[in-house]
Amino acid sequence: MRRFNYIDLVLWLFRIGIIGVVLWGMTGKFILGIGNDYTISDWLDFFVSGLSQGSLYALIALGYTMVYGVLFMINFAHGEFFMAGAMTSTVLVALPLENAGYVERFPWLSLLAIFLSAVLTSVLVAVLTERIAYRPLRNAPRLVPLITAIGASFFWQYYFRGLFGSSLLPFPEFPMFDGKIAFWGLDFQKADIAVILTSLVVMFGLQQFVQRTKTGRAIRAVAENKDAATLMGIDVNRTITITFIVGASMAGVAGVLYSIVFRQLNFVMGFIPGIKAFTAAVLGGIGSIPGAALGGLFLGIIEAIGPPLFLEGLGVAGSHQLKDVIAFTMLVLVLIFRPQGIIGERLAEKKA
């Protein structure tokens, strides 16, 4: 017979407590009608907005998860790769193009230039960081590169503050993302839809790249076992650099998509999305590519729907301010009950 375990009891009480709060909140919302009265279209708006924010988290989370996959380190400077791409492409490409009137005349061409410059900058920053800050520490204890990553993150933040100043930068408005688009009689923001679609395409492309190409196979081999990969003739350093390049490109794409939706940037813009994307990567199971995508989408949606669904029914004032509480409660829950993340089983067992 199994011995009675206090920890199990506490965990069960915790589970029941959370379920109780959720049910109580939803009862308050739907049966007692506390708070605002939402229509189906309002709920869909919450959902789509969350999905669009979630796709950005997912794109950034992919970079975290890939680097973790090959190096077993949390690259806290990843949010700065995202910021570097967005800021540089805005200041050096988007704003000059807008002033010259190109954004209005050739919106698609301008957009392409902005995407290219953002990806290029993010990749450059990532490769430099890897080469200068991480590679010399490849064989150091695991805590050392982690602290270095935090240092690199501050370095890039203040580097770009020095370059572009610390005030808010506006991102130009693109005519094709302005306004709404109707699906099945419901209106959606064009910008949100564009972000969701682009992210899906990029994520699908990444999955194909990692599963189908030779380089992708090399990345997976290095993630599996570096020594064995070296014996098989894989250039480990090169593969790690490629991993950083791929992760940073997605951060660059996310940077431009972020600018399109939220249209304002400054040098600390990478911090919060970086932390959220890290959360998303852990939620989905760090090291797993589909896990990061799923975790990001899940986090974005729960942040948007959670406050009106759970908190408003409880009569919490200013519920939207507390969306981070919901996001991080989800993280704690996942870490307690499923430490390997939503779909991180196989990898986590080996690397824990």
Q: Does 227 bind another protein (CB under 8 A)?
A: no
Site string for another protein, 189-208 (x = CB under 8 A): x--x----------------
Q: Does 328 bind another protein (CB under 8 A)?
A: no
The single residue among 20, 162, 175, 315 that binds another protein, judged by CB under 8 A, is 162
Secondary structure (3-state) at 188: strand
Q: What is the DSSP string of 114-155?
A: HHHHHHHHHHHHHHHHIIIIIGGGTTS-THHHHHHHHHHHHH
How far is the C-alpha of 63 from the C-alpha of 81, rounded, in Å?
A: 10
Residue whose pair of structure tokens reads 């699908």 in the numeric block? 204
Whichever of 85 and 300 has its CB closer to another protein, that residue is 300
CB 291 within 8 A of CB 343: yes
Q: How far is the CB of 199 from another protein (least distance, A)?
A: 15
Q: How far is the CB of 249 from another protein (least distance, A)?
A: 20
Q: Does 96 bind another protein (CB under 8 A)?
A: no
Cα–Cα distances in angstroms (integers) from residue 113 to residues 88, 89, 329, in the given order? 12, 8, 40
How far is the C-alpha of 61 from the C-alpha of 277, rounded, in Å?
A: 4
Q: Does 298 bind another protein (CB under 8 A)?
A: no
Secondary structure (3-state) at 333: helix
Whichever of 72 and 164 has its CB closer to another protein, that residue is 164
The single residue among 166, 208, 211, 213 that binds another protein, judged by CB under 8 A, is 166
Q: Does 224 bind another protein (CB under 8 A)?
A: no
Secondary structure (3-state) at 113: helix
Determine how many CB atoms are found less than 10 A away from the CB of residue 218. 22
The single residue among 25, 28, 29, 50 that binds another protein, judged by CB under 8 A, is 50
Whichever of 28 and 307 has its CB closer to another protein, that residue is 307
Structure tokens at 125: 């920053």
How far is the C-alpha of 94 from the C-alpha of 113, rounded, in Å?
A: 8
Q: Does 128 bind another protein (CB under 8 A)?
A: yes
Size of the site for another protein (CB under 8 A): 54
Q: Does 169 bind another protein (CB under 8 A)?
A: yes
DSSP state of 86: H
Site string for another protein, 254-283 (x = CB under 8 A): ----x--xxxx-x-x---xx----------
CB 338 within 8 A of CB 15: no
Whichever of 114 and 312 has its CB closer to another protein, that residue is 312
CB 230 within 8 A of CB 236: yes
Judged by CB under 8 A, which stretch of 77-85, 249-257, 313-321, 332-340 contacts another protein? 313-321
User: Tell me, what amino acid is at 130?
Assistant: E
CB 247 within 8 A of CB 263: no
The single residue among 20, 151, 170, 315 that binds another protein, judged by CB under 8 A, is 170
Q: Does 28 bind another protein (CB under 8 A)?
A: no
Per CB under 8 A, residues contacting another protein are 36-39, 41-42, 45-46, 49-50, 52-53, 128, 131-132, 159, 162-170, 173, 179-180, 187, 189, 192, 258, 261-264, 266, 268, 272-273, 300, 303-305, 307-308, 312, 317-321, 323-324
